[in-house]
Structure 1
Amino acid sequence: VCIVPQMGLSQNGFYAEEIVVPSEYVALKPAGLTFAEGAAAWMQYLTAYGALVEIANVQKGDAVLITAASSSVGLAAIQIVNALGGIPIATTLTGTKKAAVLKAGAAHVIATQEEPLLDSLRSILRENNLKIA
């Protein structure tokens, strides 16, 4: 059993069959997910959240370059940037995933094997700068 006084992988770890956590850290598992899926579902959002909110402090209107945007962390980052009022600019290798990444909420998608990244960014940003890449 792992008793968690405060949340943080580096402080206590989560390698236990049972844990005790404060009730404010507990969320209902969506009905359509197994317990294993429910336990893992938050990881990509926590990864993106830490970078975008706690480190970069993304604000409304900030342009954010999200690489590998069709990955689980990339898709989570798109949602978080949108929720913060930022402008998610996504990259993916080819155009095959471009429509899906746009549907996920990216404002712009650059297929890096098919179009030059820097030229595409200059065209999208014009006089603005990236907040984080």
Structure 2
Amino acid sequence: MSLGDYVRFLRALKGGPTPWQIETDTGIAPGIYRQIEQRYRSIGDEQLLEKMAAYFGVAAEELRWRQHWPRKGLTAALVDAQESGRPLTLVLRNSETLTGAVQWWDLGAVEIRQADGASLVVQRHMVDRWE
């Protein structure tokens, strides 16, 4: 799960404060928090991640490693798996893994057909990483 997807999830868990409220409460420069949620790329430095981690009550490392698993990286892996016919393994937030052929994908979900023929649709925001 990208950093943007993860902080959007944390924001919902916190009751849905607005991005502007988060920036005010943390001292993050105006517009930066929204960019993190919406741009799906690595934005920010160590100090920013520390502020966000403290605000959401999570370890900074939980935010830091997600910068290396961008949403665009998942899209590239899905395209490659679908075009090549190679199976893709998705590691989900709950630590479950799914391996299989990518049947289709869009900005919100992906369908994986497993070796036993079972198909599962997974919301992309549940994917922590992929192999």
Q: TM-score scaled to structure 1, two decimals?
A: 0.27
Greater percentage in strand? 2
Q: TM-score scaled to structure 2, two decimals?
A: 0.28
Greater percentage in helix? 2
**Structure with bigger RCO (C-alpha 8 Å, 6+ apart):** 2
Instruction: Indicate the structure (1 or 2) with the bigger Cα radius of gyration.
Output: 1
